[in-house]
């Protein structure tokens, strides 16, 4: 194990590509540059709030105890081997071309080699302005940082590809934020998260170069990305083969999000990882009551472009933007279109497989697709708590009559069902029970498949809100409980959190809806 200050950082990205080495933090356009040097801006006092021991062990980094190491986590110290920089990228935001964006409050310190020989980037989020901060201050507040830290690690333990979070520190500074952009700014405690990923490259990095017609830089970035992160892809058609794999990974990621009820909230192309991993945790949420039209992002209203059920379609739209960026490098552009159209097949194949596991089926039969559709239609109409519904489904008595079915699932309902809704619900559950009874595996095996596919613990927004409010008052008990529970999302050890969203949280700011600054 090594200390943070003893890490010998590599500078492979900054040494391979052109960048602005001036260190000028003034907002500006940077044509021809893939990054700009950005020294973190010091804060008042760095203090450790959370540390991911499991991730640290993978990285081979010991928990900091000396202030010199803590200062690295807060941007107050830059070691000689670091080259802090902010990446330049563009993106489509809410369907509209936004031009140059870039890392406005993220600063990559460099790359390091882990204990198993992998290369990862360490990045500070909230460490001050960069050339891409535009009119912002480059800072992050405690509430958004707590959400990013916890959710990054929670997704990892759910088994979903994601960036990770090594640490969360308080800065001792106050940061002014207008949480809902409604003209009511307030001072909030500042914080910084250290994020970890093999790369933070996103679709927007390639869109930026294509938009500027920097074809040489685009070719160089594509070649570097393939050789470094997709080394198994070679040959003259490697760009097409690479795009095909990005399509496949993105399709699988969408099915994983829907499996656990995750809503990203701001699926702009600059928030889409080139590795098919979850990246940039802003106004995310898990669905409580099942609702494909649910969006947690106030900025996404009224159109609900990034609503829960629209995420797979948006992912394809974003992939089309990536294909457009790659088109100048591909002679046969129809191949890009063909690869994109195969997204639907990849998505549905993955979706059906996951649904089979969520429902405990022994195999996928032709008639199961109709069953999936019937269950989906029922869930949309009844809107039970998604997590609790699937947990109760695991323990469903297969011989239950109508009254017993309703009693069994009563804890998942947010409303009193009408006679018609009750009839529909019982009919669907009865059909499901008949399908399970025909399984070629025994009930115990079926239930085990369901337990592995359906989380029992999720980071509900109201729990995060409570934890943040308590942390701001100096009480970390709930925050620490959530840190433990998120590591065992399929266990029954944390059933104190297996509860529906309380009524008070339905319309409370920070619980039901959040902004892009959250």
**Strand, helix or coil for residue 320:** helix
- Angle of helix 402-409 versus helix 386-394 axis, rounded to 10: 130
DSSP annotation string for 156-223: HHHT--B-EEEEEEEEEEEEEE-TTSSS--EEEEEEEEEEEES---BHHHHHHHHHTT-HHHHHHHHH
Q: Which of 20, 71, 173, 270 is catalytic?
A: 270
pLDDT of residue 160: 98
Integer Cα distance of 489 and 172 in angstroms: 33
Q: Per the omega criterion (within 30 degrees of 0), is the bond before 96 cis? A: no
**pLDDT tens digits for 412-426?**
999 999 999 999 999
C-alpha span between 38 and 101 (Å, rounded) = 15
Q: Which of 19, 20, 24, 17 is nearest to 39 (CA)?
A: 24
Residue 353 to residue 355: CA distance in whole angstroms = 6
CA atoms of 163 and 295, how far apart (whole Å): 22
Kindly report, residue by residue over 488-518, the tens digit of the pLDDT: 999 999 999 999 999 998 877 777 667 665 4
Backbone torsions φ then ψ of 148, nearest 5 degrees = -65, -45
Rounded-to-integer distance, Cα 514 and Cα 461, Å: 10
**186 strand-pairing partners:** 177
Q: Tell me the mean pLDDT in the region 124-134.
A: 97
Structure tokens at 213: 């017609």
Quote the CA–CA distance of 143 and 282 in Å, as a whole number: 10
Average pLDDT over residues 204-232: 98
Instruction: Please report which helix (H) or strand (E) contains residue 393, including its range.
Output: helix 386-394
- Candidates 257, 262, 312, 321; CA nearest to 287 is 262
Q: What's the distance, CA 27 to chain centroid?
A: 27
Q: Quick one: average pLDDT of 244-267? A: 98
* Residue found by looking up tokens 């083969």 in the block: 241
pLDDT digits (tens, 9 = 90+) for 353-377: 999 999 999 999 999 999 999 999 9
The pLDDT tens digits for 4-41 are: 999 999 999 999 999 999 999 999 999 999 999 999 99
Residue 128: pLDDT above 60?
yes
Which string of DSSP letters, residue by residue, matches 365-398?
Answer: -TTHHHHHHHHHHHHHHH--BHHHHHHHHHT--T
C-alpha triplet 39, 41, 44: angle, nearest 5°? 150
On whether the CB atoms of residues 453 and 354 are closer than 8 A, the answer is yes
Q: What's the confidence (pLDDT) of residue 180? A: 65
pLDDT at residue 464, rounded to an integer: 96
Nearest to 258 by CA among 348, 144, 321, 345: 348
Q: What is the pLDDT of the chain when averaged over all its residues?
A: 96
* Residue whose C-alpha is closest to residue 335's, from 249, 219, 202, 237: 237
Q: Output phi, psi for 164, to 5 deg.
A: -115, 170
Read off the pLDDT of residues 467-492 as tens digits, 9 standing for 90 and up.
999 999 999 999 999 999 999 999 99
**Rounded to whole angstroms, how far apart are CA atoms 351 and 255?**
5
**Phi, psi at 134, each rounded to 5°:** 55, -120
> Which residue, chain included where needed, has tokens 């309380």?
502
Judge contact between 9 and 79, C-beta under 8 A.
yes
Inform me whether the pLDDT recorded for 186 exceeds 90: no
199-208, 209-218, 351-360, 506-515: segment of lowest average pLDDT? 506-515
| Confidence band, pLDDT 50/70/90 cuts, at residue 181 | low
Active-site annotation holds for 475: no
Percent residues over pLDDT 90 in the chain:
93
Q: What is the pLDDT of residue 34?
A: 98
pLDDT at 300: 87
Q: What integer pLDDT is reported at residue 177 of this predicted model?
A: 85
**Is the per-residue pLDDT at 429 higher than 60?**
yes
pLDDT in tens, 35-83: 999 999 999 999 999 999 999 999 999 999 999 999 999 999 999 999 9
pTM: 0.96
> Longest Cα pair distance anywhere in the chain, in angstroms?
73
What is the token pair recorded at 499?
Answer: 């509860």
> What pLDDT is recorded for position 188?
93
Residue 293 CB neighbour total at 10 angstroms: 10
Residue 50 phi/psi, 5-degree rounding, is -150, 150
């Amino acid at each position: 194990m090594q200390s943070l200050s003893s890490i010998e950082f590599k500078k492979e990205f900054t040494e391979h590509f052109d960048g602005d080495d001036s260190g000028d933090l003034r907002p500006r356009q940077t044509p021809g540059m893939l990054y700009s040097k950005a020294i973190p801006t010091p804060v008042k006092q760095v203090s450790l709030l959370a540390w991911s021991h499991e991730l640290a062990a993978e990285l081979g980094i010991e928990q900091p105890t000396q202030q010199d190491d803590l200062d690295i986590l807060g941007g107050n110290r830059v070691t000689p081997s670091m080259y802090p920089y902010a990446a330049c990228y563009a993106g489509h935001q809410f369907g509209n071309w936004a031009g140059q964006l870039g890392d406005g409050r993220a600063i990559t310190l460099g790359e390091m080699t882990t204990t198993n020989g992998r290369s990862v980037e360490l990045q500070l989020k909230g460490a001050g302005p960069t050339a891409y901060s535009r009119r912002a201050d480059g800072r992050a507040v405690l509430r958004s940082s707590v959400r990013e830290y916890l959710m990054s690690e929670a997704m990892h333990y759910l088994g979903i590809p994601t960036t990770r979070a090594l640490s969360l520190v308080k800065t001792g500074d106050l940061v002014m934020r207008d949480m809902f952009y409604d003209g009511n700014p307030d001072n909030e405690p500042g914080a910084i998260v250290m994020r970890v990923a093999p790369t933070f490259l996103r679709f927007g990095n390639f869109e930026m170069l294509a938009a500027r017609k920097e074809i040489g830089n685009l070719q160089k970035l594509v070649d570097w990305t393939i050789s470094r992160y997709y080394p198994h892809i070679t040959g003259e058609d490697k760009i097409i083969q690479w795009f095909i794999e990005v399509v496949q990974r993105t399709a699988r990621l969408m099915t994983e999000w829907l499996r656990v009820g995750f809503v990203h909230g701001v699926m702009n192309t600059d928030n889409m990882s080139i590795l098919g991993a979850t990246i940039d945790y802003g106004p995310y949420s898990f669905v409580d009551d099942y609702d494909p039209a649910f969006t947690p992002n106030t900025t996404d209203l009224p159109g609900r472009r990034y609503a829960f059920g629209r995420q797979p379609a948006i992912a394809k739209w974003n992939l089309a933007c990536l294909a457009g960026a790659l088109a100048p490098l591909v002679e046969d552009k129809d191949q890009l279109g063909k690869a994109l159209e195969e997204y639907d097949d990849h998505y549905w194949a993955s979706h059906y497989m996951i649904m089979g596991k969520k429902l405990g089926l022994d195999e996928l039969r032709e008639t199961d697709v109709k069953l999936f559709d019937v269950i989906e239609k029922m869930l949309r109409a009844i809107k039970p708590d998604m997590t609790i519904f699937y947990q109760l489904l695991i323990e469903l008595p297969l011989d239950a009559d109508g009254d017993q079915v309703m009693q069994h699932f009563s804890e998942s309902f947010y409303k009193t069902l009408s006679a018609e809704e009750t009839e529909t619900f019982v009919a669907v559950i009865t059909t499901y029970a008949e399908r399970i009874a025909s399984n070629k595996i025994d009930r115990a095996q079926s239930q085990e498949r369901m337990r592995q596919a359906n989380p029992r613990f999720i980071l509900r927004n109201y729990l995060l809100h409570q934890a943040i409010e308590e942390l701001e008052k100096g009480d970390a008990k709930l925050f620490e409980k959530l840190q433990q529970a998120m590591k065992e999302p399929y266990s029954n050890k944390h059933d104190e959190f297996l509860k529906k969203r309380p009524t008070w949280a339905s319309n409370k700011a920070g619980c039901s809806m959040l902004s892009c600054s959250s």
